Chain A
Amino acid sequence: MAANLFQVLQTLLVLLLAPLFAGYLQNARALLQNRRPAGILQPYRDLLRLFHKESIIAEGTSWLFRATPYLLFAAMWLAAGIVPILATALPLAPAADVIALVGLFALARVFQVLAAMDTGTAFGTLGARREMLVAAMAEPALLAALFTASLLSHSTSLSSIVDHLESLRFALHPSMVFAAAAFFMVLLAENARIPVDNPATHLELTMIHEAMILEYSGRHLALVEWAAQIKLLLYVGIGIALFLPWGIAPAGDLAALPAAAFWLALKLLAAGAVLAVIETLLAKLRLFRAPEFMATAFLLGVIGLLSYFMLGA
């Protein structure tokens, strides 16, 4: 029973916290860039405003275009119930291990790309092809990083990985350091962050994610934006689970909950600060430098794997 409570709690927490995390990120970035921040609650206001607006369907689009925002949101919702962010061993967690989670994100991405192509505009197809390119390059790097963690803990289930790594308190794994670097680079690429994509641009030369969702408006846009925010939080959550797992509560253990929440807040604050610093310091790469970026990530992942085999750790 308590485990189910944790399940509901975590799912809702991730859904509701995602805009807050995005707001914190925006705020931190604005402060670092000498701009006046819009306030940490701005994403909530944006979402609410979008939800209240009229949704316009572009002429010549099919049901795919209309269904995709709901599907994106639903996919992220499901993922929010699986990733051990607040607690491990959630009742839903065995439904998908880390490979299936990657598959779930891929499913969402393919629908988003197809919806973009459904609009039949130059921007739509442009965003679609760039997104597929980035994804195709990023996935091997992501898997290399995840493989390192699963080889170390003899499991691909995120809960088991967390349990195993938590039990190895403060043991230093060189392989995991490389894997963490690779994972972080993939996180930037997959979530349309600088240096691969710029979430705050509408210039045709630079946009990837924005080009795909140009035709969405009103509640559809709200769902797409919200799903993107959840995805970022989930990726950060997976990163925390893999590389900084200390403090995640086992599901059902109510006593561990406050500590878990505290650690989670602390880690998210730190992760957001790191992201903001990176987005301030780096410029966006030219699109054709992006494969090099991903190749670097892949190499780091490979070094991680090899150092696991050579050092056994």
Chain B
Amino acid sequence: MTAVLPLDLAMAALLSWLGLGLLGFALGGYQTLACRAVFPLSTMGGLLLAAAGLWASTATPDVLQISGPFPVLPWSFRLDPLSGFFLILLGLLAAAVSVFATGYFRPLPAAALRRLFLQYQGFLLGMGLVLLADNAYTFLVAWEIMAIASYFLVVTEHEEEGSRRAGFLYLLIAHLGALAILLGFAVLAGVQILQGGSFAAMMQAQLSPFWASAAFLLTFFGFGAKAGLLPLHIWLPEAHPAAPAPVSALMSGAMLQTAFYGMLRVDFLFLPQAAEWWGPFVLLVGLASALFAVLFAAAQTDMKRLLAYSSMENMGLIMVAMGLALIFRAHGLNALAALALIAALYHALNHAFFKSLLFLGSGSVLHAAGTVAMDRLGGLIQRMPQTAFFMLVGVLAIAGLPPLNGFVSEWLLLQAFLLAPALPQSTLSAVLPLAASGVVLSAALAAYAMVKFYGISFLGQPRAHLPVHETGRWERSAMGLLAMACVALGLFPGVLIGLLDPVIREMVGQGLGQQGWLWLTPVSAQRASYSPVMFLFGIALALGVAFVLVWWRFGRPLRRAGVWACGFPLRTARMQDSPLGFVEPLLRIFRPVFQLRREALSTAAPRLGLQLGEPVTAYLYRPLAATAAWLSAQMVRLQQGRITVYLLYSFLTLLLLLALLR
């Protein structure tokens, strides 16, 4: 009898998810029973997984090998602090989302529900396995399980053409990415790839600078496709909104982070000798993605599409932080790299919580109002007050406002940027603060987009007559839990940073050390300090005192009356800004980015519509597709339909091969 290890615990959690998928498939006929049994148990599995991840940060990494169907290709698993951190993220997120799913999926018809259980649990399992894999073979198989399960979840509403298109696009880009990752692993592992390409071998590999850069670029492309970085993001705003809300939450919150996990493992553990240009490259791609995505997020009129673009923006910011860490590490400044990495990991966890909260809230709105098109919503805060409150927390968090969690990671990132003068290279240290301004711009625009998201759909007057009702108990508890997580991560950053210490040490050999729970001082108290608890306490105290004083001295009863609006008597819902109207200034200022097309929707009733186009599609994918189509058309000429011509082709090919092989 050997002692139980964190890895065993994690594997048990993953197996329980597999079992629950099968159980759900069997029980699918009894919808209520199946939902109430499978999803809460799946929550337990998530908590177990998070516990395993937490335990792994203090235990020594352990390894598990299982021989697979092919003797030379073993299944291989390993749990180290880096995997542990992402397991915590996945486990907690899966726990909260499963609580939500208990109520959300109950109205599904039996057949759809059966399939959904398998796909949902398979998706969770795939993500868990990706994080535990210890060789290229296991990793890629898990990566495929994750991709295929999520593909089926994206096309849940396969009766709709848009959904199928989104699924196809997703599958296509996911496989382009997987191919690039496979090639990258092949470069890293060399001939070892034929034995499964163990990660231990990759860590030992001595690559020449050229091949190291090749491996870096291939994996960055592959993981970047999953992370939705420019210009590979086009699947993201289609696929995330098409899936049911809990799945969108998992895809944005956890699946995107598996891509980040892959990049961290490859760039920091397999390729310790980074070339100098990697960091600026990653930073630039991240910043471009973030700015591009935030502009498009602001311009969306569908709640879930807006959130999908915002996920892309957040991945961009995480890439900026990772790029900064790569820059610092390339110049041997490991302590500063640690700070930037903490900002990146912190933001990954934050994003998992607030984005899933917002996606779940949009799902509640979809169930309650029947639509997430913002030009039909408005005033939801009156009819679904609790959902509206939780969403407000999520919106404030994602807008990067203190004392919530989004601000902490942003603050850490800016602190890391301010340490750029320590770099020996003067051009780089002079340009980096400009990149920081870009980060600030994207954060400020994100606040714009999120204010629009909340203000248009939850505040003001309803834009259409919809029978809105508050969402169910399960849904509200899940959102409440996530909102609490956002607050807790915002108030006690020191705790999480302490937890991250072993992860950071694993990657750059140095950590920030333990922080107190009250003060956050990443470098020194002289240099910068921030205390969210004091901050919140200060505001709450001032708020209370101001309220009591004003009531005591001037507390006349309030009176409700019609709005004044400068004395203008008419007030209809149409007089409020439409979702596009609210961002009209942005559309005007950043006109070249948006492929705007005005068109009359009908000639009978003159209404103008505004079409937003993706410049990436117009300038990259369309020409690419056109070129491919042209090449294929040229190839048709080879097809003569006469056997003599084909024999000639074979003969010429043979000659060519002989000439080459000689």
Do residues A95 and B550 form an inter-chain contact, with CB atoms below 8 A? no
Contact with B along A128-172 (1 / 0, CB 8 A): 111011011101100110010011001111001000000000000
Do residues A110 and B451 form an inter-chain contact, with CB atoms below 8 A? yes
Do residues A59 and B421 form an inter-chain contact, with CB atoms below 8 A? no
> B377 CB to closest chain A CB, in angstroms?
12
| B559 in contact (CB, < 8 A) | yes
Contacting residues of chain B (546-570) with chain A, CB-CB under 8 angstroms: 546-547, 550, 553-554, 556, 558-566, 568
| B647 in contact (CB, < 8 A) | no
In whole angstroms, how far apart are the Cα atoms of A57 and B566 in the complex? Answer: 15
CB-CB under 8 A from B438, the residues of chain A are 140
Do residues A117 and B550 form an inter-chain contact, with CB atoms below 8 A? no
Do residues B547 and A70 form an inter-chain contact, with CB atoms below 8 A? yes
Do residues A59 and B560 form an inter-chain contact, with CB atoms below 8 A? yes
Given A56-B560, A114-B459, A136-B441, the answer on whether A96 and B530 have CB atoms closer than 8 Å is: yes
Looking at the complex, which one of B382, B539, B558 makes contact with A75 (CB distance below 8 Å)? Answer: B539
CB-CB under 8 A from B581, the residues of chain A are 125, 129
Which residue on A lies nearest to B443, using beta carbons?
Answer: A139
Do residues B437 and A140 form an inter-chain contact, with CB atoms below 8 A? yes
CB-CB under 8 A from B44, the residues of chain A are none
CB-CB under 8 A from B554, the residues of chain A are 51-52, 219
> A123 CB to closest chain B CB, in angstroms?
6
Do residues B542 and A204 form an inter-chain contact, with CB atoms below 8 A? no
| A225 in contact (CB, < 8 A) | no
- Which of B459, B519, B547 has the largest number of chain A CB atoms within 10 A? B459
| B378 in contact (CB, < 8 A) | yes
Contact with A along B396-413 (1 / 0, CB 8 A): 100111100001000100
Contact with A along B496-535 (1 / 0, CB 8 A): 0000000000000000000000010000011111110011
> B57 CB to closest chain A CB, in angstroms?
28
| B543 in contact (CB, < 8 A) | yes
| B433 in contact (CB, < 8 A) | yes
Do residues A62 and B546 form an inter-chain contact, with CB atoms below 8 A? no
Do residues B451 and A202 form an inter-chain contact, with CB atoms below 8 A? no
Do residues A156 and B415 form an inter-chain contact, with CB atoms below 8 A? yes
> A90 CB to closest chain B CB, in angstroms?
12
| A279 in contact (CB, < 8 A) | no
Do residues A157 and B529 form an inter-chain contact, with CB atoms below 8 A? yes
Do residues B573 and A120 form an inter-chain contact, with CB atoms below 8 A? yes
Given A121-B576, A202-B566, the answer on whether A58 and B451 have CB atoms closer than 8 Å is: no
| A199 in contact (CB, < 8 A) | no
Given A120-B576, A136-B441, A215-B564, the answer on whether A57 and B529 have CB atoms closer than 8 Å is: no
Given A58-B564, A97-B529, A133-B585, the answer on whether A103 and B400 have CB atoms closer than 8 Å is: yes
Do residues A151 and B421 form an inter-chain contact, with CB atoms below 8 A? yes
| A20 in contact (CB, < 8 A) | no
CB-CB under 8 A from A151, the residues of chain B are 418, 421, 433
CB-CB under 8 A from A57, the residues of chain B are 558-561
Looking at the complex, which one of B437, B455, B561 makes contact with A144 (CB distance below 8 Å)? Answer: B437
Which of A35-43, A268-276, A298-306 lies at the binding interface? Answer: A298-306
| A8 in contact (CB, < 8 A) | no
| A71 in contact (CB, < 8 A) | yes
Contacting residues of chain B (378-430) with chain A, CB-CB under 8 angstroms: 378-379, 381-382, 385, 388, 392, 396, 399-402, 407, 411, 414-415, 418, 421, 426, 429-430
Do residues A122 and B576 form an inter-chain contact, with CB atoms below 8 A? yes
Given A117-B455, A133-B585, A144-B437, the answer on whether A100 and B542 have CB atoms closer than 8 Å is: no
Do residues B530 and A97 form an inter-chain contact, with CB atoms below 8 A? yes
Q: Could you tell me how many residues of chain A have their Cβ less than 8 Å away from some Cβ of chain B?
A: 81
CB-CB under 8 A from A58, the residues of chain B are 560-564
| B454 in contact (CB, < 8 A) | yes
> B392 CB to closest chain A CB, in angstroms?
8
Looking at the complex, which one of B440, B459, B560, B582 makes contact with A139 (CB distance below 8 Å)? Answer: B440
Given A135-B447, A204-B566, the answer on whether A103 and B582 have CB atoms closer than 8 Å is: no
| A265 in contact (CB, < 8 A) | no
In whole angstroms, how far apart are the Cα atoms of A212 and B626 in the complex? Answer: 50
Looking at the complex, which one of B455, B460, B558 makes contact with A113 (CB distance below 8 Å)? Answer: B455
Looking at the complex, which one of B381, B401, B527 makes contact with A107 (CB distance below 8 Å)? Answer: B401
Do residues A54 and B430 form an inter-chain contact, with CB atoms below 8 A? no
Do residues A125 and B447 form an inter-chain contact, with CB atoms below 8 A? no
Do residues B436 and A78 form an inter-chain contact, with CB atoms below 8 A? no
> A44 CB to closest chain B CB, in angstroms?
15
| B584 in contact (CB, < 8 A) | yes
Looking at the complex, which one of A75, A118, A202 makes contact with B459 (CB distance below 8 Å)? Answer: A118
Do residues A132 and B539 form an inter-chain contact, with CB atoms below 8 A? no
CB-CB under 8 A from A96, the residues of chain B are 402, 530-531, 535
Which residue on A lies nearest to B401, using beta carbons?
Answer: A107
| B434 in contact (CB, < 8 A) | yes
CB-CB under 8 A from B553, the residues of chain A are 51
Which residue on A lies nearest to B460, using beta carbons?
Answer: A120
Looking at the complex, which one of A52, A70, A128, A215 makes contact with B543 (CB distance below 8 Å)? Answer: A70
> A311 CB to closest chain B CB, in angstroms?
11
CB-CB under 8 A from A103, the residues of chain B are 400-402, 407, 411
Do residues A143 and B437 form an inter-chain contact, with CB atoms below 8 A? yes
The chain A residues found within 8 Å of chain B, CB to CB, are 51-52, 54-60, 62, 64, 66, 70-71, 73-75, 77-78, 81, 92, 94-97, 99-100, 103-104, 106-107, 110, 113-114, 117-126, 128-130, 132-133, 135-137, 139-140, 143-144, 147, 150-151, 154-157, 160, 202, 204, 214-215, 218-219, 223, 287-288, 291, 298, 301-302, 305-306, 309-310
Beyond the given pairs A120-B576, A202-B566, 13 more chain A to chain B contacts, judged by CB atoms under 8 angstroms and listed by A's residue number, are: A70-B543, A71-B539, A75-B542, A77-B546, A78-B535, A94-B529, A114-B459, A118-B455, A125-B576, A132-B447, A133-B448, A140-B438, A143-B414
6 tightest CB-CB pairs across the interface, nearest first?
A: A120-B460, A117-B455, A74-B542, A309-B430, A95-B534, A125-B577
A sample of 18 inter-chain contacts (CB < 8 A) reads A54-B556, A55-B558, A56-B558, A60-B461, A73-B543, A74-B539, A95-B529, A99-B415, A103-B401, A117-B455, A118-B460, A121-B571, A122-B575, A143-B437, A154-B527, A160-B527, A214-B566, A215-B565
